[in-house]
Structure 1
């Protein structure tokens, strides 16, 4: 099984892919949404569940080395169907890696992990374990990561790069004609993904990933598994808990998705999340002398930059110069809120942009370019976000501007919705409320000011899970509580090892950066937050 991700030609214009880079970093995402209950498994579904166990067999592990050379690892693959409704049809290999428990005599079992995305590599997440997870977790668990279907080493979804770029240029329509052009571009992009990837491109929904995960559990030979999922990884965990409640020993869902949202609920909560997080940054600058915007109104600075971007007055140097668009500025602000450890540098860039400093514009233009592109194939099969007309989209935009007068709306939420208009694949796993019954306690955590998976999503997911959920709130800013809050990390570690949950309604205090000298001294206790690198932006903090 290959462990080197193939690449595709990179475009020359990096700045044009600001939002494309951002969406690969989601969520990997409340109070409004559909109220459809989860369907009970049909006889066909139950037969498929039995098939998952029979297909996998015991996993054949072989020694392998992480890119860093640290830790003791084994790698393997599991063969799973492209379409779980046709288990005897075409198959592909799902890539796995595990970091063996460092204290085998006290080993509890396997801890499956997923870093989100959609599109984050669970294999690379496992490879990061020696530096990213606590000594307690490393001692007591085999940390097992898998590349979800269509991601990295697991038959990656590939799309025509020219069509990715064509879609990117149209994701912010401003007229009925440009909205129609976007729909055409989306369909062409989705069809290219199907042509270049094969049938798997039409079977990327989270429901299929859940069945893959059950095949992994069976292959591990463990009656019950533990799970830690962050961002989009929470969607996998939530839906696994629905389908396989008795296969769970412990489950932590960190920075939660909410799969019950309709298009407006998704946009509204995303916009409020970004606006709230930026407001916390602005307040931090107001009380922190070392902030480059101290003594100024950071909200007004962003508003001024946004209006200059609208007027075409913010430019990235080059030949020819490239304008910094409002959408680029919004994406930059959203990424800047993922980890307060980077706020000093973020404030410096805003200050330099405001003074027309060319160095800032050059730094601002450093966005990653996509190679493989699984994001839309997952999101557009998990959410029905069809908007009937440009008029509806324009009404959304006006209403979001009233809800979030500084940041206007979430560039991530906006591009997710718009990128799914007229996507050619079927919505295999549409929105519905969770229906979880019979699991052990599930620890659900969320930052109070999360710019990607808003607090309301975590609170609503916990309400939907019901009595099985124990909800912990981190009262700070950011995405991925395990690396932002020592209090949250201790609660997660304690629960995963001992099964002792914090009290329901527990709050962990906010942790604020002290200034430039402490910029990289995050509250992680020496652990490295792997999410920025795993999710592809490199500019979180």
Structure 2
């Protein structure tokens, strides 16, 4: 993720403030780990203003081990940010937010505003978040831009290209490891669980109140599994199922969720007169664009003079619109692209993947034996999502070929945990509703699923039904009745 303008300046200020607010001995550079003695009793975070441009946000840095299996070994600085409760007289405690991605910055989320939380939650809790290890201000994964730009296409149609992709992945891992430092080999969620518990302890909270979003739901669920009696309340919003056992099941589930959102978009266009494609064959219009993109004849509206690849069309335009359930905006973009003048055929390149891809690879064991199996997986996705070829999960699978996995998938067992509230839209393009149902079942008596009967990735503030249920749970530990469903708004 490339940051520009005010957000980039804010991150620089966060790092400066964090360097002045280290919890343990010495000043730790956020760019890499250094060896310092372990702290047996760390003081609370020494908060300092993050950036005058964003008033009210405070930052600090927590020293944590590179490898929790060796707590007295090298350490690095974990970047934190906080906004205090707006109603201090009614403050309940601290809520820790686990960002998504992998690769999203919790520090940026807090510094620039935290509109994902209701006014009630903002009044009753200090909101604290962090940059997970390998992200932003927390020993970020750093790789050669030139090598990243040479990433092979996920269209792997020969065994030679399959072998070349595996070899490229190995070269890239070696480069990123050399530039990032020892933390590169300890980016998995099992390590981040321990970071989260260190945050809880440093904040002086006997039990954790947590809200995890998307990839952050894996962190929350595994924390509850590891430390079930240290959980006060936990919201898992847009739920990832880390119990999916195979590469094929993972890709099929992801394709089904995205295709469901495309079909919902088509149905909306059929009935909504405000749709720019109303009265047209939406599937035909879309596949016409895919064909033009495949020939390199579709002009990229954000980069004049270049061609828009089918991958960018699917992932950058359609899938991104589904995240926000912006059907009207997507229809306008498709209509504009369809009306655009074809350009002379030009080569396209794969969309860039974030440098934090190694975090995903360390958490997901998605083996593919050879090109023949890879082609079979592509066909499975094409059958499941015929309108959305080469979705991002396939890119991620290709990028992880040959990578080791430190925290592979497993089914949850969180015996002794209090009620955990799961929140998911029925039509979520990235974390499909069946995943939320599966995780709720894995959590057994602790899992309570709150259903939003609408669209998009993220749901906790979508209307008063959702917002009130989440607020009552977080503030008063009042758990919604099982089977509660909230209407779309």
Tell me the TM-score normalized by structure 1: 0.79
What is the rounded CA distance, in whole Å, between the counterparts of 2:141 and 2:166 in structure 1?
20
What is the rounded CA distance, in whole Å, between the counterparts of 1:490 and 1:368 in structure 2?
40
Residue 385 (structure 1) aligned to one of 366, 371, 377: 366
What is the rounded CA distance, in whole Å, between the counterparts of 1:337 and 1:319 in structure 2?
22
Q: Is 1:400 the counterpart of 2:381 in the alignment? A: yes
What is the rounded CA distance, in whole Å, between the counterparts of 1:318 and 1:103 in structure 2?
43
1:69 maps to which residue? Answer: 54
Alignment of 1:296-445 (within 5 A): 296-316=280-300, 321-331=305-315, 332-340=317-325, 342-357=326-341, 373-374=355-356, 376-408=357-389, 411-423=391-403, 426-445=404-423
What is the rounded CA distance, in whole Å, between the counterparts of 1:195 and 1:299 in structure 2?
47
What is the rounded CA distance, in whole Å, between the counterparts of 2:396 and 2:70 in structure 1?
29
What is the rounded CA distance, in whole Å, between the counterparts of 1:320 and 1:294 in structure 2?
28
What is the rounded CA distance, in whole Å, between the counterparts of 2:436 and 2:77 in structure 1?
33
Which segments of 5 or more consecutive residues in structure 1 lack a partner in the other structure? 7-52, 360-364, 512-541
Q: Is 1:107 the counterpart of 2:87 in the alignment? A: no
Shift of 1:74: 2.6
Q: Is 1:492 the counterpart of 2:470 in the alignment? A: yes
Shift of 1:476: 1.2
What is the rounded CA distance, in whole Å, between the counterparts of 1:56 and 1:287 in structure 2?
62
Number of aligned residue pairs: 450
1:10 maps to which residue? Answer: none
What is the rounded CA distance, in whole Å, between the counterparts of 2:283 and 2:166 in structure 1?
34
Identify if the C-alpha distance between structure 1 residues 241 and 299 changes in structure 2 by more than 3 Å, giving closer, same or farther. Answer: same
Residue-by-residue CA offset, 1:234-293 (whole Å, 9 max, x unaligned): 011001000111111100000011111221111000000010001111111111111111
Secondary structure of the structure 1 residue equivalent to 2:327: helix
Q: Is 1:126 the counterpart of 2:106 in the alignment? A: no
Secondary structure of the structure 1 residue equivalent to 2:320: helix
What is the rounded CA distance, in whole Å, between the counterparts of 2:269 and 2:304 in structure 1?
35
Q: Is 1:150 the counterpart of 2:134 in the alignment? A: yes
Shift of 1:306: 1.6
Identify if the C-alpha distance between structure 1 residues 319 and 272 changes in structure 2 by more than 3 Å, giving closer, same or farther. Answer: closer
Higher mean C-alpha deviation, range 434-443 or range 173-182 = 173-182
What is the rounded CA distance, in whole Å, between the counterparts of 1:432 and 1:284 in structure 2?
37
Residue-by-residue CA offset, 1:460-492 (whole Å, 9 max, x unaligned): 111111110100111211101124444322221
Shift of 1:307: 2.4
2:21 maps to which residue? Answer: none
CA RMSD of aligned residues (A): 2.4
Secondary structure of the structure 1 residue equivalent to 2:150: helix
Shift of 1:105: 2.1
What is the rounded CA distance, in whole Å, between the counterparts of 1:478 and 1:56 in structure 2?
43
Q: Is 1:266 the counterpart of 2:246 in the alignment? A: no
Shift of 1:183: 1.2
Identify if the C-alpha distance between structure 1 residues 475 and 188 changes in structure 2 by more than 3 Å, giving closer, same or farther. Answer: same
What is the rounded CA distance, in whole Å, between the counterparts of 1:195 and 1:390 in structure 2?
29
What is the rounded CA distance, in whole Å, between the counterparts of 1:221 and 1:320 in structure 2?
53
Shift of 1:223: 0.5
What is the rounded CA distance, in whole Å, between the counterparts of 2:442 and 2:99 in structure 1?
22
Identify if the C-alpha distance between structure 1 residues 282 and 5 changes in structure 2 by more than 3 Å, giving closer, same or farther. Answer: farther
What is the rounded CA distance, in whole Å, between the counterparts of 2:321 and 2:468 in structure 1?
25
Identify if the C-alpha distance between structure 1 residues 214 and 317 changes in structure 2 by more than 3 Å, giving closer, same or farther. Answer: closer
1:58 maps to which residue? Answer: 43
1:78 maps to which residue? Answer: 62
Identify if the C-alpha distance between structure 1 residues 310 and 460 changes in structure 2 by more than 3 Å, giving closer, same or farther. Answer: same
Shift of 1:5: 4.8
Residue 210 (structure 2) aligned to one of 209, 227, 243: 227
What is the rounded CA distance, in whole Å, between the counterparts of 1:490 and 1:103 in structure 2?
18
Q: Is 1:505 the counterpart of 2:466 in the alignment? A: no
What is the rounded CA distance, in whole Å, between the counterparts of 2:264 and 2:307 in structure 1?
28
1:22 maps to which residue? Answer: none
Q: Is 1:458 the counterpart of 2:436 in the alignment? A: yes
Higher mean C-alpha deviation, range 143-152 or range 502-511 = 502-511
Secondary structure of the structure 1 residue equivalent to 2:452: strand
Shift of 1:391: 0.5
1:447 maps to which residue? Answer: 425
Identify if the C-alpha distance between structure 1 residues 489 and 175 changes in structure 2 by more than 3 Å, giving closer, same or farther. Answer: farther
What is the rounded CA distance, in whole Å, between the counterparts of 2:106 and 2:259 in structure 1?
30
What is the rounded CA distance, in whole Å, between the counterparts of 2:140 and 2:432 in structure 1?
29
Identify if the C-alpha distance between structure 1 residues 196 and 457 changes in structure 2 by more than 3 Å, giving closer, same or farther. Answer: same
Tell me the TM-score normalized by structure 2: 0.87
Higher mean C-alpha deviation, range 291-300 or range 206-215 = 291-300
Residue 157 (structure 2) aligned to one of 174, 178, 182: 174
